[in-house]
């Protein structure tokens, strides 16, 4: 009889990719992907704890399974990912949701298969969280869900300790993968028809610092020695390490998308210092200028936070002016969320919810104006997109241009995995609609 799995993923692309690894493990344990949560034999929550609402979301959804678990005692519920890796989180989970069967952390994903076997044979609750990163991260990816794009980890962990951020505590110290292994993985993916590779790391610019054999720009250059058509993306770049060598490589290699995600976080030097970001607003803007000099048709996206402890209206105004000056094509905007264990959580001057709400609304408004203005410039233009899916509701195919902008179009044959040209007839917010041009 078939056994089904269902995975619920929260958080960043790294977690989405990790869910592919989890799916691979589940498949090797004999499970196949289910069609809905209610019919699954094992449900896995791959959690995030970057902000409080990400955690609340997961807690709510796990709690909602109490009834289902009562009806189906043999259902296995597993919780893993960043949330479980926080100090005291496993105990909290066990207490709040005694019906959860397996709790695992970010450092021992490789043993998830054994945990399932142990659960099946002993029927006991399994809680297995490692304090420290393991010597070898789980790199066995037998299953992918995002054709024609493929994610490839180039490094794990983070050494930066930005004062607001939980990631270094739940993902451990920076460790880069062997460059030959990465290139082998990329080559295998391209050979099997993938058209877009996204390299993943919390700070890709410090790739290789711990190995001393290959820097990030060198890695990109090596990957681009393949001459066929494909797209290469990466995230995330920390502005403090974003330099000219990388910009040159972006400019010189056609495969590297002319889109850089460069999280700025704030426009006030005082706040940036308190955040431990190690650059000033001026330095950030100088890097943007350098990027635009080498890659004139480049687009820039960013992450911005409002309501960091002690942020004044004047600090916030500086963020708004930086957003205007940098002219981001879009920005991911966040309200600062206090994360226990981080330096910022102990700072005086936490900002009220009311002020945070007011600032985020003003920021989002400005960002939306900029995004719409840029979208409008697409009207009537013909752009190249990589077709990635079919939207049943709209009855249209969809794909992204090199800047990540979504375009919808009609076609009478399956074009998924192909580069196509579409002429844009309509723009709305961030998305585009067009007609096949050839
Ligand atoms: N490594 C990436 C960011 C990973 S987290 C980098 O350095 O840029 C993604 C984004 O979440 C961050 O850029 C930041 O804007 C936001 N974020 C991180 N911690 C947060 C917190 N405590 N509250 C609100 N937003 C946060
Ligand atoms: Fe967090 Fe900073 Fe590391 Fe990014 S670089 S993951 S924001 S600590
Ligand atoms: Fe990603 Fe959230 Fe962890 S943003 S690294 S899943 S805390």
Rounded to whole angstroms, the Cα distance separating 152 from 219 reads: 13
Query: Which residue is associated with the tokens 């013909």?
Result: 382
Q: From the CA of 304, give the closest atom in ligand 1.
A: 15
Are 173 and 320 within one domain? Answer: yes
In a 13 Å sphere around the CA of 234, the CA atoms on its Cβ side amount to 28
- Which of 271, 334, 337, 357 best tests ligand 1's pocket when mutated (most atoms within 8 Å of CB)? 334
Here the tokens at position 269 are 């030097």
For the segment 249-289, what is each residue's pLDDT rounded down to a tens digit?
999 999 999 999 999 999 999 999 999 999 999 999 999 99
Are 318 and 353 within one domain? Answer: yes
**Which residue's C-alpha comes closest to atom 3 of ligand 1?**
202
CATH of the domain at 347: 3.80.30.20
Q: What is the pLDDT of residue 1?
A: 79
Query: Which residue is associated with the tokens 């226990």?
Result: 340
Is residue 114 domain-resident?
yes
Is residue 141 domain-resident?
no
Cα-to-centroid distance, 153 and ligand 3 (Å): 14
Any atom of ligand 1 within 6 Å of the Cβ of 202: yes
Is residue 280 domain-resident?
yes
Note whether 177 and 141 are within 8 A (CB). no
Is residue 142 domain-resident?
no
Q: From the CA of 165, give the closest atom in ligand 1.
A: 19
Rounded to whole angstroms, the Cα distance separating 331 from 364 reads: 9
Is residue 284 domain-resident?
yes
Note whether 291 and 283 are within 8 A (CB). no
Q: What is the pLDDT of residue 187?
A: 97
**Which residue's C-alpha comes closest to atom 5 of ligand 2?**
160
Cα-to-centroid distance, 269 and ligand 2 (Å): 18
Contacts of 225 (CB under 8 A, 6+ apart): none
CATH of the domain at 11: 3.40.50.12160
- Which of 14, 203, 265 best tests ligand 2's pocket when mutated (most atoms within 8 Å of CB)? 203
Rounded to whole angstroms, the Cα distance separating 247 from 249 reads: 5
Are 430 and 397 within one domain? Answer: yes
Phi, psi (deg, nearest 5) at residue 197: -115, 130
Rounded to whole angstroms, the Cα distance separating 165 from 133 reads: 18
Are 429 and 353 within one domain? Answer: no
Total structural domains within the chain: 3
Are 83 and 161 within one domain? Answer: no
Is residue 139 domain-resident?
no
**Which residue's C-alpha comes closest to atom 4 of ligand 2?**
202
Question: Which of 133, 161, 195 is the last residue in one of the domains?
Answer: 133
Spell out, as residue ranges, where the chain has pLDDT lower than 50: none
Q: What is the pLDDT of residue 246?
A: 97
**Pair type for strands 406-409 and 396-400:** antiparallel
Phi, psi (deg, nearest 5) at residue 27: -65, -40
Are 124 and 267 within one domain? Answer: no
Question: Which of 376, 396, 428 is the last residue in one of the domains?
Answer: 376
**Ligand 2 pocket by Cβ (under 6 Å):** 158, 160-162, 165, 167-168, 202-203, 238
Note whether 187 and 226 are within 8 A (CB). yes
Structural domain boundaries, residue 111? 3-133
Instruction: Report CA 20 to chain centroid distance, whole Å.
Output: 13
**Pair type for strands 196-200 and 259-261:** unpaired
Question: Which of 84, 103, 133 is the last residue in one of the domains?
Answer: 133
Transcribe 88-114 into DSSP letters.
THHHHHHHH-TT--EEE-STTGGGHHH
Cα-to-centroid distance, 395 and ligand 3 (Å): 33
Any atom of ligand 1 within 6 Å of the Cβ of 51: yes
Are 56 and 34 within one domain? Answer: yes
Rounded to whole angstroms, the Cα distance separating 189 from 185 reads: 6
Cα-to-centroid distance, 180 and ligand 2 (Å): 26
Are 227 and 352 within one domain? Answer: yes
Assign 318 to helix, strand or coil: helix
- Return the closest-CA partner of residue 356 out of 309, 320, 314: 309
Is residue 143 domain-resident?
no
Any atom of ligand 3 within 6 Å of the Cβ of 287: no
Is residue 140 domain-resident?
no
Here the tokens at position 19 are 């869910």
In a 13 Å sphere around the CA of 306, the CA atoms on its Cβ side amount to 27
Contacts of 124 (CB under 8 A, 6+ apart): 118
Are 91 and 168 within one domain? Answer: no
Any atom of ligand 1 within 6 Å of the Cβ of 165: yes
Are 387 and 318 within one domain? Answer: no
Are 218 and 333 within one domain? Answer: yes
Helix (H) or strand (E) holding 420: strand 419-428
Note whether 19 and 47 are within 8 A (CB). no
Q: What is the pLDDT of residue 207?
A: 97
Q: What is the pLDDT of residue 80?
A: 97
Are 276 and 394 within one domain? Answer: no
Transcribe 381-392 into DSSP letters.
-EEEEEEEEEET
User: What ligand has the least distance to the C-alpha of 9?
Assistant: 3
CATH of the domain at 393: 2.40.50.140
**Which residue's C-alpha comes closest to atom 19 of ligand 1?**
165
Q: What is the pLDDT of residue 281?
A: 98
Rounded to whole angstroms, the Cα distance separating 238 from 250 reads: 16
Q: From the CA of 159, give the closest atom in ligand 2.
A: 3
């Amino acid at each position: 009889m078939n056994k089904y799995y269902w995975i619920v993923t929260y958080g960043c692309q790294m977690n989405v990719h990790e869910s592919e690894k989890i799916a691979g493990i589940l498949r090797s344990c004999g499970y196949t992907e289910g069609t809905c949560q209610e019919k699954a034999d094992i449900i896995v929550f791959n959690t995030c704890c970057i902000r409080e609402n990400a955690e609340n979301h997961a807690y709510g959804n796990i709690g909602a399974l109490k009834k289902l678990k009562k009806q189906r005692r043999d259902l296995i519920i597993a919780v893993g990912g960043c949330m479980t890796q926080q100090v005291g989180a496993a105990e909290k989970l066990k207490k709040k949701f005694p019906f959860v069967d397996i709790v695992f952390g970010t450092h021992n994903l490789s043993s998830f298969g054994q945990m399932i076997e142990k659960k099946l044979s002993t029927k006991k609750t399994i809680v297995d969280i490692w304090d420290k990163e393991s010597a070898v991260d789980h790199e066995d990816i037998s299953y992918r869900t995002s054709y024609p794009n493929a994610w490839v980890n180039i490094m794990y962990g983070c050494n930066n300790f930005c004062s607001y951020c939980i990631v270094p505590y739940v993902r451990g110290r920076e460790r880069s993968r062997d460059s030959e292994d990465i290139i082998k993985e990329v080559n295998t993916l391209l050979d099997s028809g993938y058209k877009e590779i996204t390299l993943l790391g919390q700070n890709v610019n410090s790739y290789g610092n711990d190995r001393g054999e290959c820097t990030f720009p060198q890695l990109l250059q090596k990957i681009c020695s393949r001459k066929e058509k494909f797209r290469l993306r990466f995230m995330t770049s920390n502005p403090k390490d974003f330099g000219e060598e990388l910009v040159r490589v972006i400019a010189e290699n056609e495969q590297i998308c002319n889109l850089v995600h460069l999280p700025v976080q704030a426009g006030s030097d005082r706040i940036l210092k308190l955040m431990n970001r190690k650059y000033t607003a001026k330095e950030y803007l100088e890097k943007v200028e350098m990027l635009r000099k080498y890659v004139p048709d480049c687009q820039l996206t960013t992450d911005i936070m409002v309501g960091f402890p002690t942020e004044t209206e004047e600090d916030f105004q500086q963020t708004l002016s930086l957003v205007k000056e940098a002219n981001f094509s879009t920005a991911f905007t966040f309200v600062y969320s206090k994360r226990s264990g981080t330096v910022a959580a102990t700072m005086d001057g936490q900002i009220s919810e009311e002020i945070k709400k007011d600032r985020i609304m003003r920021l989002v408004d400005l960002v939306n104006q900029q995004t719409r203005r840029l979208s409008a410039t697409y009207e009537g233009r013909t752009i190249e997109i990589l077709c990635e899916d079919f939207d049943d509701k709209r009855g249209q195919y969809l794909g992204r241009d090199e800047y990540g902008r979504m375009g919808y179009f009609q076609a009478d044959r399956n074009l998924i995995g192909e580069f196509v040209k579409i002429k844009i007839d309509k723009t709305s917010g961030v998305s585009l609609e067009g007609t096949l041009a050839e």
